[in-house]
C-alpha cells in the first residue's frame, strides 16, 4: 500500500512539473491554459492519494470546472493569436539562465542534504514527535467534517483574512478597471 | 502634586517663549498687551509658585537632599545618566527667588522700556522668557548636565539679546564677542565636568556630595578640576582674563543689561562654585587662585570705571568689579558671604541699571554722562532711588551693600594665604567704587549743567551709539510710566532692607542669619574646612576693619562731591589728551587691543595659511578626486536599473542562488 | 470541540478589527450615502487609524509612560477597564495564530503612527489630482490592518495571508492614477514582482512546514532550538526555508538584489502612496524579519550571517552610489531607501560576543526598531512634503532652485528630513545610526560598522545636494515651484507633528530604546 502511494506521488508530481513547464513555455495561451488544467487535475489526484477526497473533488470542481473555464472564455474572447507572442522565442537565452539558476539552487540543496546525512554529529535516527495530525483524522472522521472543523475553528483567522483579501481583489479590480471613475463617486 | 507645580514653574516661561515666539513670527506686530500678558504673566506665576513651594515644602527644602521632582529621562548611556530632574534646596530656592522675582520686575519694566520697539516687542519678550527658562534650569537642575544645558541656554539668550538690534554692526559684533569669549570658558567647564565624572562616576549633585562625604580625595586632583570649572566661571561671570565681553554686552537693551548682565546670568559662576562647594573646598590652592583673580578683577575694573563717560559702561565695569568681590569671597571659602553679596548686588545693581535705563529713556536715548546733569530737578524720585542704590553699593552702613561687602572684606583679611593682600585689593576697590558711583550720580543728577537744555541744543549731535529714538524734535523729557517706576521702587526698598538678613551674623559673628543659613544648606559643612583657612582675629580688629571700610566709603563720596559738584568738572571730550593714568583707564588698559595683537592676529594668520595650503591644496583636491571616482562608480551601477521587469525578477532569482551558495557553502 | 474563539481572542486583534471595521464602514457608506462619501471615508479612516493607534499602546509595558515622563506621571493611571485589556491581551490568540505583546504593540504603534499621518495628508492631494475616491482610504486601512496581522501573526499561514493582505491594496494604490502611464507601470511592476517574491516566501514556509510538521512559529522555534530533534534533512530544509523567507522579506525591505522594483514603483506611484509604501511596509517587513530571526533562525544565524553581511553591504553601496546621480528627487530618495535598507539589514544577525554559544545581541532589536521608526517618520515627512510640492511634473533638483524663497516651509522640511536621513545630530536619523553603530561595535562587528560609516559619508553628498539646491542663492532667482506647502489643516497638523518628532524624538531616544529592548524579550 505504501509503495503504491509513493509511486503514485512521484507519478503525479512529475506530471505536475511537466504541466507547469508547459504552462510557462507554450506559445499558445489556450494550450497553456489547458496545461494548467492538467496541473490542477494532478494536484487533485495528489490530494486523493493523501486521502483527502473531498478536497480533491473541490479542487477539480472549483478550479477546473469554474475558474479555468472562465479563463478560456476570456482568452478566446480577446482572441489572442500566436504571433502576439513571437518574441518569447527571442528570450530563450534568458529563460535558460533562469532555468539553470533554479537548477543550481535545487542541486545545492540536494548536495547539502547528502553532505549532512554523512555528518556524524547530527543524529539521523530521531524523528519528530510531532506528526502531521490531520492525515490520521481523515480516515476516522469524514473528510468534509475535518475540513470544516479546521476552517472554522483552528484556521478561522486565516480563513477570515482570505475573505478580506478577496474583497480587496474585487474592489481593486473595480477601481482600476472602471472606465468612468466619476460614476463611482 | 507639588512636584508637578515645580515642573510647571520651570516650564511656564518656556510656554511664554513659545507664545511670544509665535507672535513674533507674524508679519504685522502683535498686540503689545497680549505679549506683555504672556511675557510677564508666565514669570509672575512661576514666581508665585516658588513662593508657595518655599512655604509648602519648607522642611524638604532645608533638608540635605532638598525637594526634588523628576520630569523625564534625558540621557542614559552606560553609567552616565542625566534626567530632567529638579532639586529645590536651600541654595537653589534662593536663586529661584532672585531669578523669577527680579526677572518679573524687569519684565514689567520692559513693557514700558520697549514700548517704542513695536516690530520687535514680541521677539524681545520671547527671548527674555527663554532666558528665564534656561536660567531656572541652570539653578534648579539636579545634575551638572542640566546645569550645563542652562549654562549654554543663558549664553544663547545673552547672545541673542546683546545682538537684539542685529542690523547694527556694533550690536552684532558685541554679541559675537560675548558668545566666543564664553565658548573659551565653556571648554574649561566641560573638561572640568568630565574630570569630575571620571573621579566620582556621577554628575548628580547628591551622588557627588555622597562621594565626597565617603572618600577623601587628593587635593592635587581637585585643584585641576576646580581650576577647569573656574575657567568656565571666568567666561560666564566675566573675570580676568575673559571679562572683556561684558562691557561690550551693554549694546543690548538696558533691561537685558539689568537682568542678564548684572543680576542673574553673570552670577552663574558664583552659583556654580557654591553648588560644587565640596570640590572647591578640597582644593585650597585653586581657591586661592580664585580669590586673587577675583581681587584683581575687582580692582582693575574699578580703575577702568573711574573714567568712563558712558553711563552704562560705568555700571558694566562696576558689575565686573562686584563679581570680583564675589569670587574673592568664594575663593576664601566664605560661601555664605559670597552668596549674600550676590543677592544684595542683584538688588542694587538691577536698580542702578534700570534707573540708568530710565535716565536714558527720558533723555531720548542719551547715554553720555557729559551731556547730562541737573536731572534732580526733573526726576526727583529717580534721583532718590539712584542715591539709595549708590549708598548701597558704596558700602555706607545701613543699606544692603554694606553688610555683604564688609563681611567679604573681613573674611578676606583673615584668609591664611595672602589674606592681607586680598584685603588691600578689596579695600582699594571699595574706595574706587564709592568714588565712581558718586561721580556717576553727581554728573547725572546734580552738576549745574542741565541735561534737558543740553539735549535740546545738541540736536543731532552726540547720540552715543544708541539710536533708538528717531525723534526729529527733542523737547523735554520723555515721561516715565508706572511700569517703569514701579519696579524701581520695589528694588529700592529691597536695596535698603535686603541687607538686614545678614545683620545677626555681623553683630555676633555666630551662624544665624543668612550667612549661617548658607553654611547650613551647602550640605558639606563648609565651615569646617573653611575655618582652617582662616586665622582668628580679635573682635576689636573686626570692628576696626569695619570702621575703615565705612571711612573709605565716605572718602569716595566726599572726593566725588569735591570734584564734580564743588569744582563742577565735566570729563573731557574724547579727543582731548589726558594724563598717562587717566589715559590708561579711559582706554580700558588697552586690554582689547592687546588681545587682538597677541591672540587674534597670529590665529588669523595660522587659519589663513592652513586654509591656503592644507585645505585647498591637500584636502579639497583629494576630496574632488574621491568624488569623481564615486560618481564614476555610480554611473556604472545605475545601469542595473534597466526598467525591464523580467530583469528584476532575474535579479531576485540570482540573488536567491547566491545566498544559497554562500550559506550552504558555509555549512559544509 | 470547544468554542470557535473567545472574547479575549478578539481583544488581541483589536487594532486590526478597528481598521477593518473602518474599511467596511467606508464600503457601507458608499452604498448608503447619496453624496459626501469621500468626506465620510476620510473621517472614518482617520478616526479608526487614531483609535487603533491609541489601542496599540496598551500592549506596552506599563512602565513606558513612567520612563518617559518620570515620577510626575506615575500618578496617571489607565482607567480600570483599559488596565484589564492590557492584562488580557498579552496572550496568544486564535489557537496560536496571533499574539499581542509588547513586541507587536511597539511595531504596531510605529505603523499606525505613519498610517495616521498619511491619511491626514492624503485627502487634499488626491482631491487636487482628481483621484479622491473613498476606496483609497479603504485600501490604506487594509494595508495597515494587513501589516498589523503580519507583525502579530504567529503562524506561517497567517503570516503569508497577511503579507498578501498588506500587498494587494498597495498594488491597487500604486496604480491609482490610471491616466498616468508611469503609475500604471508602477502598479503592474509592483504586482508582478510582488507576487513573484511572495512565491519565494510561500515556498520557504512550505519548507519550514515540511521540516517541522507545524506552522506555529513557537512550535517551530521549540523544535529547531532542540538539537536532538533535528535530522540532517530537516536542518537543510529549515535553512532553505529561512533563506527563501529571507528573499520574500528582503523584497519588502528592498535589500539588494531584491530592490529593483523600488525606484520604478516609488517614482511611478503618486507621491502620497509612495509615502505609505516607503514607511509602513518597511516597518512591517523589519518586524517580521526580526520575529523570524529570533524564533526560527537563531540556531542557524552563524550560517546565515555571511549572506546578510554581503547583501547589506551591497545594498548600502548600491543605494548610495546610484542615488548620487539621480536628478529626480523621488527617485533619489527611492535609491537612498535601498541604502537605508542596507543599514537595517546590517542588524539582522548580530551575535552577542559576550555570551557563550550563538546568541543574538539583545540590543539589535531595539536599535533596529529605533532606526526603522525614525526612518519611517522621516519618509512620511519627506514624501508628504514632495507630494504637496509637485505640480504636473516631477520635482527635480533643478526645480528646487530658489525654493527657500518661494516656499520656505517646504524647503525647510526637505532640508530637515535630508539632514535626518544623512544622520546629522540632533535629528532622529542621527540617533538611529548611533544606536546601530553602538550595537555593531559592542559585538565587534568592526567591518560592518566601518561600512555603515563610509556609506553614511557617501550619503551626505546627495542629501547635502538637497540643501544646496533649496537654500543656495542662485542669483536671487525665484524658484520655479510656486506651490504652497500643506494646503489643508490635516496635512499641516501632521507636517508639524512629524517635523517636531524628527527634531525632538532623538532626545527621548532612551525611553523608546528601552521599551523596544523589553519588547524583544516578549517571546521568552
Q: Is the pLDDT of residue B410 over 90?
A: no
The whole-number pLDDT of residue A83 equals 56
Q: Looking at beta carbons, which residues of chain C come within 8 Å of B14? A: none
B398 has a pLDDT exceeding 80:
no
* CB within 8 Å: B650 and A112: no
Q: Give the integer Cα–Cα distance in Å for B234 and B272.
A: 11
* CA C207 – CA C213 distance, rounded (Å): 10
Q: How far is CA B537 from CA B307, B408, B542, in A?
A: 37, 14, 7
Residue A22: count other Cβ atoms within 10 Å of its Cβ: 16
Residue B648 to chain C, least CA–CA distance (Å)? 6
How far apart CA A81 and CA B166 sit, in angstroms, is 78
Look at A94 and B667 and tell me if their CB atoms are within 8 Å: no
Burial (CB count within 10 angstroms: exposed 0-12, middle 13-18, buried 19+), residue B483: middle
A104 lies within 8 A of chain C by CB? no
Instruction: Return the residue in B647, B648, B657 with the most chain A beta carbons within 10 A, the one to mutate for interface testing.
Output: B657
Question: In terms of Cα–Cα distance, which of B129, B140, B103 is closest to B5?
Answer: B140
pLDDT at C147 over 90: yes
Q: Is C328 on the interface with B (CB under 8 A)?
A: no
pLDDT band, very low/low/confident/very high, at B319 (cuts 50, 70, 90)? very high
Alpha carbon distance B228, B234 (integer Å): 10
B662–C324: do the CB atoms touch at under 8 Å?
A: no
- Does the pLDDT of residue C287 top 70, yes or no? yes
User: Does residue C194 surpass a pLDDT of 70?
Assistant: yes
- Contacting C residues, span 240-259, partner chain B, CB-CB under 8 Å: 240, 243-244, 246-247, 250-251, 256-258
Across the interface, of B653, B656, B664, the residue whose CB is closest to A112 is: B664
Q: For every one of its 185 residues, what pLDDT tens digit does chain A have, with 9 covering 90 and above?
A: 567 777 888 888 889 888 988 888 777 788 888 888 999 999 988 888 877 778 888 888 888 888 888 888 888 877 666 555 555 555 667 667 777 777 777 766 666 655 555 444 444 333 443 444 445 555 555 567 777 777 787 788 888 899 999 999 888 888 888 755 554 44
Per the document, the length of chain C is 524
Q: How far is CA A31 from CA A14, A89, A95, A96, B206, in A?
A: 19, 16, 19, 21, 84
Percent of chain B with pLDDT over 90: 15
Please say whether the beta carbons of C438 and C370 come within 8 A: no
| Average per-residue pLDDT for chain B | 82
> Confidence class of residue C82 from pLDDT cuts 50, 70 and 90?
very low
Q: Kindly report the nearest CA distance between residue B650 and chain A, in angstroms.
A: 7
pLDDT at A122: 41
Cβ atoms of residues C59 and C155 within 8 Å: no
CB contact under 8 A, C307 and B663: yes
Are B630 and C458 a contacting pair at CB < 8 A? Answer: yes
Residue C81 confidence class, pLDDT cut points 50, 70, 90: very low
CB B35 within 8 A of CB B125: yes
Say if residue C294's pLDDT is above 90: no
Predicted pLDDT of residue A3 = 74
Summarize pLDDT for B10-34 with one digit per residue, the tens. 999 999 999 888 888 877 777 888 8
Contacts of B571 (CB under 8 A, 6+ apart): B307, B309, B369, B370, B443
Q: How confident is the model at residue B514 (pLDDT cuts 50, 70, 90)?
A: low
- Candidates B644, B655, B668: best to mutate against A (most CBs of A within 10 A) is B668
Q: What angle do CA B178, B183, B185 make, to 5 degrees?
A: 100
pLDDT per residue as tens digits for the range B412-440: 888 877 888 888 899 899 989 998 998 88
Question: According to the model, what pLDDT value does residue B471 have?
Answer: 45
Q: How many CB pairs under 8 A join A and C?
A: 108
CA C411 to chain centroid, in Å, comes to 25
Contacts of B656 in chain A (CB under 8 A): 101, 105
Residue to test with chain B: of A101, A102, A111, A121, most B Cβ within 10 A = A101
Nearest to B230 by CA among B142, B308, B289: B289
Confidence (pTM): 0.67
Cα–Cα dist B193/B203, whole Å: 8
User: Which pLDDT belongs to residue B458?
Assistant: 58
| A61 reaches B (C-beta below 8 A) | no
Least confident segment among A117-126, B360-369, B381-390, C133-142: A117-126
Alpha helices in B57-89 (DSSP H): 58-62
The predicted structure's pLDDT at residue C479 = 63
Higher pLDDT, A177 or B350: B350
pLDDT at C59: 60
Distances (CA, A) of B544 to A34, B228, C346, C476: 121, 37, 78, 73
CB C292 within 8 A of CB C360: no
| pLDDT tens profile B127-153 | 999 999 999 999 998 888 899 999 999
Average pLDDT of the residues in B568-582: 74
H or E segment at C391?
none
> Could you tell me the three cell numbers for B507?
553683630
Share of chain C above pLDDT 70, in %: 86
Residue C77 exposed, middle or buried by CB count within 10 Å (0-12, 13-18, 19+): exposed
Q: In chain B, where are the structural domains located?
A: 591-667
pLDDT in tens, B623-642: 788 778 877 877 777 777 77
Nine cell digits for residue B104: 518679573
Highest mean pLDDT among B304-308, B399-403, B589-593, B641-645: B304-308
List chain C residues with CB under 8 Å of A153. 1, 4, 95
**How confident is the prediction for chain C on average, in pLDDT?**
82
**What is the distance between the terminal CA atoms of chain A, rounded to a whole angstrom?**
62
pLDDT of B220 higher than 80: yes
Evaluate if residue C87 carries a pLDDT over 60.
no
Smallest Cα–Cα separation from C217: which of C359, C98, C94, C365?
Answer: C98
Contact B38, B125 (CB under 8 A): yes
- Residue A113 confidence (pLDDT): 58
* pLDDT attached to residue C227: 66
With CA atoms as reference, report the closest residue to C178 among A179, A168, A170: A179
Q: What percent of chain B has pLDDT over 70?
A: 90
Contact C258 B651 (CB under 8 A): yes
C-alpha cell at B50: 516658588
Nearest chain A Cα to C2, which residue?
Answer: A153
Q: Compare CB distances from C247 to B83, B633, B655 and report the shortest one's residue.
A: B655
CB pair distance less than 8 Å for A157 and C158: yes
Put residue B476 in one of left, alpha, beta given phi > 0 → left and psi -120 to 50 → alpha.
Answer: left
Residue C510 pLDDT exceeds 80: no
Cβ neighbours, 10 Å, residue B29: 16
Q: Which chains touch A (3 or more CB pairs under 8 A)?
A: B, C
Instruction: Please tell me the predicted confidence (pLDDT) of residue C104.
Output: 82
What are the sequence ranges of the domains in chain A? Answer: 1-83+134-141, 155-185
* Partner chains of C (3+ C-beta pairs under 8 Å): A, B
Q: pLDDT for C407-431, tens place per residue? A: 888 888 888 999 999 888 888 888 8
Distance CA A11, CA A16 (A): 9
| Arithmetic mean of pLDDT, C64-70 | 44
Interface of C with A in 235-264 (CB under 8 A): 235-237, 240
For residue C183, the distance in angstroms to the closest alpha carbon of chain B comes to 14
Q: How many CB atoms lie within 10 A of CB B100?
A: 29
- Separation of alpha carbons C419 and B257, rounded Å: 37
Spatial neighbors of C490 by CB under 8 A, at least 6 apart, are: C46, C120, C121, C123, C124
pLDDT for B105 equals 92
- What residues of chain C, 448 to 507, have a C-beta less than 8 Å from chain B? 458, 461, 507
**Domain A1-83+134-141 classification at class level:** mainly alpha
Distance, CA of A63 to CA of A66 (rounded, Å): 6
Q: Suggest the residue from B642, B654, B663 to mutate for an interface test with chain A (most A CBs closer than 10 A).
A: B654
Work out the average pLDDT over B601-621: 82
Residue B505 or C208, more confident: C208
Contact B667 A109 (CB under 8 A): no
Residue C1, SS3? coil
C214 touches A: beta carbon within 8 Å? yes
Distance from the first to the final alpha carbon of chain C = 30
Which backbone phi and psi does C155 adopt, to 5 degrees? -140, 135
Q: Which of B650, B657, B667 has its CB closest to that of A104?
A: B657
Amino acid at each position: 500500500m505504501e509503495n503504491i502511494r509513493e509511486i503514485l506521488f512521484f507519478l503525479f508530481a512529475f506530471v505536475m512539473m511537466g504541466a507547469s513547464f508547459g504552462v510557462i513555455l507554450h506559445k499558445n495561451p489556450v494550450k497553456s491554459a489547458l496545461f494548467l488544467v492538467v496541473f490542477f487535475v494532478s494536484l487533485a489526484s495528489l490530494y486523493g492519494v493523501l486521502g483527502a477526497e473531498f478536497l480533491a473533488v473541490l479542487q477539480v470542481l472549483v478550479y477546473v470546472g469554474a475558474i479555468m473555464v472562465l479563463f478560456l472564455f476570456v482568452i478566446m474572447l480577446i482572441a489572442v493569436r500566436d504571433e502576439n507572442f513571437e518574441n518569447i522565442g527571442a528570450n530563450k537565452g534568458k529563460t535558460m539562465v533562469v532555468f539553470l539558476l533554479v537548477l543550481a539552487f535545487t542541486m545545492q540543496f540536494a548536495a547539502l542534504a547528502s553532505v549532512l546525512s554523512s555528518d556524524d554529529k547530527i543524529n539521523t535516527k530521531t524523528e519528530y514527535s510531532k506528526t502531521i495530525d490531520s492525515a490520521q483524522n481523515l480516515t476516522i472522521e469524514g473528510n468534509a467534517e475535518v475540513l470544516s472543523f479546521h476552517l472554522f475553528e483552528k484556521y478561522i483567522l486565516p480563513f477570515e483574512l482570505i475573505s478580506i483579501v478577496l474583497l480587496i481583489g474585487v474592489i481593486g479590480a473595480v477601481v482600476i478597471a472602471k472606465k468612468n471613475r466619476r460614476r463611482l463617486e | 502634586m507639588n512636584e508637578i507645580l515645580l515642573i510647571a514653574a520651570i516650564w511656564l516661561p518656556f510656554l511664554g517663549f513659545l507664545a511670544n515666539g509665535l507672535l513674533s513670527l507674524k508679519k504685522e506686530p502683535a498686540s503689545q498687551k497680549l505679549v506683555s500678558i504672556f511675557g510677564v504673566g508666565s514669570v509672575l506665576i512661576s514666581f508665585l509658585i516658588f513662593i508657595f513651594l518655599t512655604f509648602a515644602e519648607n522642611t524638604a527644602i532645608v533638608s540635605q537632599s532638598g525637594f526634588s521632582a523628576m520630569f523625564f529621562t534625558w540621557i542614559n548611556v552606560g553609567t552616565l545618566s542625566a534626567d530632567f530632574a529638579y532639586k529645590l534646596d536651600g541654595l537653589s530656592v534662593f536663586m529661584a527667588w532672585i531669578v523669577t522675582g527680579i526677572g518679573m520686575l524687569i519684565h514689567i519694566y520692559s513693557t514700558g522700556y520697549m514700548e517704542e520697539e513695536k516690530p520687535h516687542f514680541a521677539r524681545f519678550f520671547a527671548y527674555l522668557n527663554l532666558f528665564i527658562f534656561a536660567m531656572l534650569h541652570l539653578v534648579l537642575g539636579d545634575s551638572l548636565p542640566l546645569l550645563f544645558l542652562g549654562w549654554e541656554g543663558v549664553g544663547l539668550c545673552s547672545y541673542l539679546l546683546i545682538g537684539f538690534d542685529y542690523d547694527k554692526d556694533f550690536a552684532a559684533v558685541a554679541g559675537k564677542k560675548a558668545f566666543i569669549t564664553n565658548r573659551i570658558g565653556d571648554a574649561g567647564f566641560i573638561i572640568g565636568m568630565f574630570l569630575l565624572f571620571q573621579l566620582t562616576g556621577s554628575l548628580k549633585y547628591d551622588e557627588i556630595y555622597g562621594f565626597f562625604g565617603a572618600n577623601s580625595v587628593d587635593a592635587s586632583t581637585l585643584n585641576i578640576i576646580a581650576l577647569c570649572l573656574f575657567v568656565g566661571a571666568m567666561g560666564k561671570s566675566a573675570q580676568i582674563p575673559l571679562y572683556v565681553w561684558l562691557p561690550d554686552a551693554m549694546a543690548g537693551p538696558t533691561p537685558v543689561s539689568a537682568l542678564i548682565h548684572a543680576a542673574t546670568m553673570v552670577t552663574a559662576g558664583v552659583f556654580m562654585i557654591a553648588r560644587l562647594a565640596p570640590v572647591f573646598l578640597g582644593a585650597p590652592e585653586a581657591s586661592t587662585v580664585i580669590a586673587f583673580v577675583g581681587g584683581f578683577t575687582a580692582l582693575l575694573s574699578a580703575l577702568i570705571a573711574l573714567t568712563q563717560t558712558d553711563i552704562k559702561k560705568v555700571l558694566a565695569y562696576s558689575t565686573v568689579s562686584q563679581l570680583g568681590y564675589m569670587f574673592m569671597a568664594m575663593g576664601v571659602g566664605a560661601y555664605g558671604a559670597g552668596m549674600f553679596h550676590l543677592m544684595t548686588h542683584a538688588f542694587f545693581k538691577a536698580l542702578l541699571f534700570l534707573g540708568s535705563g530710565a535716565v536714558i529713556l527720558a533723555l531720548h536715548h542719551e547715554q553720555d554722562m557729559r551731556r547730562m546733569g541737573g536731572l534732580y530737578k526733573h526726576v526727583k524720585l529717580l534721583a532718590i532711588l539712584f542715591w539709595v542704590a549708590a549708598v548701597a553699593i558704596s558700602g555706607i552702613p545701613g543699606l544692603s551693600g554694606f553688610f555683604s561687602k564688609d563681611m567679604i572684606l573681613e573674611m578676606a583679611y583673615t584668609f591664611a594665604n595672602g589674606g592681607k593682600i586680598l584685603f588691600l585689593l578689596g579695600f582699594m576697590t571699595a574706595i574706587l567704587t564709592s568714588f565712581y558711583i558718586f561721580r556717576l550720580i553727581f554728573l547725572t543728577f546734580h552738576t549745574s549743567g542741565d541735561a534737558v537744555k543740553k539735549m535740546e541744543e545738541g540736536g543731532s549731535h552726540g547720540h552715543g551709539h544708541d539710536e533708538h529714538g528717531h525723534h526729529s524734535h527733542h523737547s523735554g523729557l520723555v515721561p516715565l510710566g508706572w511700569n517703569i517706576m514701579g519696579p524701581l521702587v520695589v528694588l529700592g526698598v529691597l536695596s535698603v532692607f535686603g541687607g538686614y538678613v545678614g545683620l545677626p551674623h555681623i553683630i555676633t559673628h555666630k551662624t544665624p542669619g543668612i550667612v549661617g543659613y548658607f553654611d547650613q544648606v551647602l550640605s558639606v559643612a563648609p565651615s569646617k574646612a573653611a575655618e582652617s583657612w582662616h586665622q582668628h582675629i580679635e573682635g576689636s580688629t573686626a570692628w576696626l576693619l569695619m570702621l575703615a571700610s565705612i571711612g573709605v566709603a565716605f572718602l569716595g563720596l566726599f572726593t566725588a562731591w569735591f570734584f564734580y559738584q564743588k569744582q563742577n568738572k565735566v570729563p573731557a571730550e574724547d579727543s582731548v589728551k589726558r594724563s598717562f593714568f587717566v589715559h590708561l583707564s579711559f582706554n580700558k588698559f588697552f586690554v582689547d587691543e592687546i588681545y587682538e595683537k597677541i591672540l587674534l592676529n597670529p590665529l588669523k594668520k595660522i587659519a589663513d595659511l592652513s586654509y591656503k595650503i592644507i585645505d585647498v591644496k591637500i584636502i579639497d583636491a583629494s576630496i574632488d578626486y574621491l568624488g569623481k571616482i564615486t560618481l564614476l562608480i555610480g554611473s556604472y551601477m545605475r545601469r542595473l536599473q534597466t526598467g525591464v521587469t523580467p530583469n528584476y525578477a532575474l535579479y531576485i532569482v540570482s540573488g536567491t542562488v547566491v545566498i544559497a551558495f554562500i550559506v550552504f557553502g558555509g555549512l559544509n | 470541540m470547544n468554542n470557535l474563539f473567545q472574547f479575549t481572542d478578539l481583544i488581541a486583534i483589536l487594532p486590526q478589527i478597528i481598521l477593518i471595521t473602518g474599511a467596511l464602514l467606508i464600503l457601507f457608506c458608499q452604498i448608503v450615502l447619496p453624496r459626501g462619501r469621500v468626506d465620510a471615508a476620510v473621517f472614518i479612516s482617520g478616526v479608526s487609524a487614531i483609535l487603533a493607534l491609541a489601542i496599540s499602546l496598551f500592549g506596552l509595558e506599563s512602565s513606558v509612560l513612567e520612563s518617559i515622563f518620570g515620577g510626575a506621571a506615575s500618578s496617571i493611571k489607565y482607567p480600570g477597564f483599559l488596565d484589564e485589556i492590557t492584562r488580557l491581551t498579552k496572550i496568544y490568540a486564535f489557537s496560536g495564530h496571533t499574539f499581542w505583546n509588547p513586541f507587536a504593540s511597539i511595531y504596531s504603534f510605529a505603523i499606525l503612527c505613519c498610517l495616521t499621518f498619511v491619511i491626514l495628508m492624503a485627502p487634499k492631494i488626491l482631491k487636487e489630482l482628481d483621484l479622491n475616491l473613498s476606496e483609497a482610504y479603504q485600501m490604506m486601512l487594509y494595508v495597515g490592518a494587513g501589516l498589523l496581522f503580519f507583525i502579530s501573526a504567529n503562524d506561517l499561514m497567517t503570516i503569508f495571508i497577511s503579507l498578501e493582505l498588506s500587498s494587494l491594496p498597495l498594488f491597487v494604490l500604486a496604480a491609482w492614477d490610471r491616466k498616468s502611464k508611469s503609475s500604471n507601470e508602477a502598479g503592474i511592476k509592483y504586482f508582478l514582482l510582488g507576487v513573484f517574491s511572495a512565491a519565494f516566501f510561500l515556498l520557504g514556509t512550505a519548507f519550514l512546514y515540511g521540516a517541522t510538521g507545524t506552522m506555529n512559529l513557537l512550535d517551530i522555534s521549540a523544535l529547531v532550538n532542540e538539537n536532538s530533534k533535528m535530522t540532517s534533512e530537516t536542518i537543510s530544509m529549515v535553512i532553505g526555508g529561512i533563506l527563501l523567507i529571507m528573499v520574500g522579506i528582503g523584497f519588502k525591505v528592498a535589500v539588494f538584489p531584491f530592490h529593483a522594483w523600488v525606484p520604478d514603483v516609488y517614482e511611478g506611484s503618486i507621491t502620497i502612496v509612495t509615502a505609505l509604501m516607503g514607511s509602513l511596509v518597511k516597518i512591517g517587513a523589519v518586524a517580521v524579519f526580526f520575529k523570524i530571526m529570533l524564533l526560527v533562525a537563531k540556531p542557524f544565524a552563524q550560517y546565515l550571517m555571511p549572506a546578510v553581511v554581503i547583501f547589506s553591504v551591497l545594498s548600502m553601496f548600491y543605494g548610495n552610489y546610484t542615488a548620487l546621480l539621480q536628478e529626480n528627487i523621488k527617485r533619489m530618495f527611492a535609491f537612498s531607501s535601498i541604502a537605508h535598507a542596507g543599514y537595517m539589514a546590517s542588524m539582522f544577525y548580530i551575535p552577542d560576543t559576550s555570551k557563550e554559544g550563538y546568541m543574538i545581541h539583545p540590543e539589535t532589536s531595539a536599535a533596529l526598531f529605533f532606526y526603522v521608526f525614525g526612518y519611517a517618520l522621516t519618509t512620511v515627512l519627506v514624501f508628504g512634503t514632495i507630494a504637496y510640492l509637485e505640480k504636473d511634473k516631477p520635482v527635480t533638483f533643478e526645480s528646487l532652485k530658489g525654493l527657500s524663497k518661494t516656499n520656505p516651509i517646504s524647503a525647510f522640511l526637505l532640508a530637515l528630513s535630508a539632514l535626518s536621513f544623512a544622520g546629522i545630530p540632533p535629528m532622529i536619523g542621527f540617533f538611529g545610526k548611533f544606536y546601530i553603530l553602538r550595537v555593531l561595535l559592542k559585538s565587534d562587528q568592526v567591518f560592518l560598522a566601518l561600512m555603515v560609516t563610509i556609506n553614511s559619508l557617501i550619503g551626505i553628498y546627495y542629501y547635502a545636494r538637497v540643501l544646496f539646491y533649496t537654500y543656495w542663492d542662485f542669483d536671487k532667482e525665484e524658484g520655479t515651484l510656486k506651490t504652497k506647502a500643506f494646503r489643508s489643516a490635516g496635512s499641516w497638523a501632521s507636517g508639524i507633528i512629524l517635523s517636531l518628532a524628527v527634531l525632538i524624538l532623538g532626545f527621548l531616544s532612551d525611553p523608546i530604546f528601552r521599551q523596544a529592548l523589553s519588547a524583544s524579550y516578549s517571546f521568552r
